[in-house]
Chains A and B, each alone.
Chain A
Amino acid sequence: MQYLLLIYSDESMWESLSEDERQAIHLEYGRLTTDLRAQGKLVGGDELRPVATATSVRVRQDDTIVSDGPFAETKEALGGYYLIEADGLDEAIEWAARIPAARGGTIEIRPTVDRSGGAS
């Protein structure tokens, strides 16, 4: 099964970290990504630019409405994602718990819709 791991955290917490602390976290992400790749679980993933760079698009009655900012203003903002293969929710939870942002932030796990035709 494929799961999207959405990484939510309070950006101001990142800003309050020292350079050394940020380096350590980067290394942790690197190790996690390496492990995912080594086990053939990594389908995709990326770090996103800060929420200040977000743009929202809505089409209402043929009008395209473009606005500054994310879908919703929240304390924790979407900062990145992983798209992984996992044998069930417990495995997805284990990977999610290893994401550094899970400490203090939230990882939302969403199963993707399976269109491959195989049993899920």
Chain B
Amino acid sequence: MQDAFATAVERWPRDGVPDNPGAWIVATARNRAIDRIRRERTLARKTELLARLEEPARPSSENEENGMPDERLELIFACCHPALAADAQVALTLSLFGGLTTPEIARAFIVPEPTLAQRLVRAKRKIRDAGIPLRVPPDHLLPERLRAVLAVVYLVFNGGYGPPVRSELCAEAIRLAALLATLMPDEAEVHGLHALLLFQDARREARVRHGELVLLEQQDRALWDRDEIEQGRRALERGLVLRAPGPYQLQAGIAAAHAEEESDWVRISLLYHRLAELAPSPVVDLNRAVAVAMADGPAAGLAIADRVEGLDGYYLLHSTRADLLRRLGRTPEARAAYERALELAPSDVERDFLRQRLASLAA
């Protein structure tokens, strides 16, 4: 969320954003089939599923041959049950569904291997002993439980996004998102997350220079993976046709726009506005301020940036305000804001950039 996103979403501005964007459209036909499968499951079958938890991590191709799609979905929901701690959810999901061994997962999250091994043992034990259900949650629980699964996948991706970049984690997250997309094709936010990860991963070569983060506006776009961007567009499309907007689709839409030749800032502002309604956060508001400044001018953007709360320790808030003040000709205030940003900037790359901006004010 640190990069400013942009979007080129066609549908919503043309057809109108649906009234109840938070509603989840669950395919009733699919659920009826799942209900029938559930009823037909015997106790022995459940015991089989429990036994699968006890098996060591298997390489991904084996999982895909042996598992019925339904069974893997049941395991994913069990792994991401709220009764498990977040780090246990992530470790367990990676262990059962990722192509990573326990030592590899431990290294990726910079956790001692025995600690991670213990975490996995305890989590599996809790699933068994506390009776965490091995099933796709019923309709009234599905929205929040699916959000938890998607959050775990996003955590895995962010764990690898860096810096430093751990590309195996990003790849695992994308694989998981793709798996979820095939298992739950009627869930729009699953496609939204899949698309978002693809767009973000497409920028991985351009995001980090000399070990430090490069802001999106400053990235060398020639380094972006065009093939992944195209995959991201297709995934986003699969979500949009379901007409059930949500935060991941919005963020993916914004990311999609940045991949265009020319950013449509009016559309980007609109999408940030919707995102702020569905998933409000100060960082979203800050990004919205940037987009609105591009669409409607720096005064409009500054009005939003000035209302953002809770980001006083975040250098990007101050550098954003500084830039807008500079464009409005309010030089003394711009200088003060750049200086504040300089105090908070996390590394030399940002500090150099801010010093240049300060110097250009004096000129």
Contacts and interface: CB of A to CB of B under 8 A. Distances in A.
Interface of A: 1, 3, 86, 88-90, 92-93, 109, 111, 119-120
Contacts of B83: 89, 93
Tell me whether chain B's interface is mostly helix, strand or loop, or mixed: loop
Given A86-B131, A88-B132, A89-B131, 12 more contacts: A88-B131, A88-B133, A89-B130, A89-B132, A89-B133, A90-B137, A90-B141, A109-B130, A111-B130, A119-B43, A119-B47, A120-B131
B348 interface: no
Interface in B32-63: 43, 47
A71 to B, nearest CB: 22
A3 B141 CA distance: 20
A93 B145 CA distance: 14
B86 to A, nearest CB: 17
Size category, B interface: 10 to 19
B43 A89 contact: no
A51 B57 CA distance: 48
Nearest to B129: A111
Contacts of B132: 88-89
Given A111-B129, A111-B130, A111-B131, A89 B47 contact: no
A95 to B, nearest CB: 13
A92 B129 CA distance: 13
A119 B47 CA distance: 9
Interface in B82-96: 83
A85 to B, nearest CB: 11
B222 to A, nearest CB: 50
Contacts of A111: 129-131
Q: Most chain-B CB neighbours within 10 Å: which of A88, A89, A92, A120?
A: A89
Nearest to B128: A120
A88 B83 CA distance: 12
B326 interface: no
Nearest to B46: A119
A119 B137 CA distance: 22
Contacts of A89: 81, 83, 130-133
Nearest to B138: A90
Contacts of B47: 119
Nearest to B47: A119
19 contacts: A1-B131, A3-B131, A86-B131, A88-B131, A88-B132, A89-B81, A89-B130, A89-B132, A90-B133, A90-B137, A90-B141, A92-B131, A93-B83, A111-B129, A111-B130, A111-B131, A119-B43, A120-B128, A120-B131
A119 B43 CA distance: 9
Top 6 closest pairs, chain A to chain B, by CB: A88-B133, A88-B131, A89-B131, A1-B131, A89-B132, A111-B130
B335 to A, nearest CB: 49
Contacts of A1: 131
A1 B131 CA distance: 8
A86 B133 CA distance: 11
Q: Most chain-B CB neighbours within 10 Å: which of A90, A92, A119, A120?
A: A90
Contacts of B137: 90
Interface in B129-153: 129-133, 137, 141
Interface string B105-147: 0000000000000000000000011111100010001000000
A3 B137 CA distance: 20
A1 B83 CA distance: 16
Contacts of B141: 90
A93 B137 CA distance: 13
A93 B130 CA distance: 11
Contacts of A93: 83
Contacts of A109: 130
Q: Most chain-A CB neighbours within 10 Å: which of B47, B128, B131?
A: B131
Contacts of B131: 1, 3, 86, 88-89, 92, 111, 120
A111 B47 CA distance: 18
